[in-house]
Amino acid sequence: MALPKALRYAVLHVGSSSMSITILEYKGIDDVRVIDYAAREVTFGDYCSNAICIVVPYVLWSHLIEINDLLYHFQGLLRNIYIV
């Protein structure tokens, strides 16, 4: 069953080595279209590759600033296609 109006979704992935956003348009189970995709390599996992970080996970302040900057730019992508 097709929807009367296409729905738009954003899928955000924050990993230890990359961040990405995929913007999709969903009209039905067989009608999904990728509108936009952006990705960037990051170094969040480099600092946490030792055994101490596995026991007590934490994120450096500089990494939080980088995540915030990337989320701000991703928000701009969403505004361009009227999701936010």
pLDDT for res 33 = 92
Beta bridge partners of 63: none
42-57 pLDDT, tens digit each: 776 665 555 555 544 5
Q: Using alpha carbons only, give the angle 65, 44, 62 rounded to the nearest 5 degrees.
A: 25
pLDDT value, residue 48: 58
Q: HSE of 59 in the Cβ direction (CA atoms, 13 Å)?
A: 14
Quick one: pLDDT at residue 14? Answer: 81
pLDDT confidence of residue 54: 53
CA distances (Å), origin 6, targets 33, 34, 52, 61, 77: 10, 12, 47, 39, 18
- Residue 4 reports pLDDT greater than 80: no
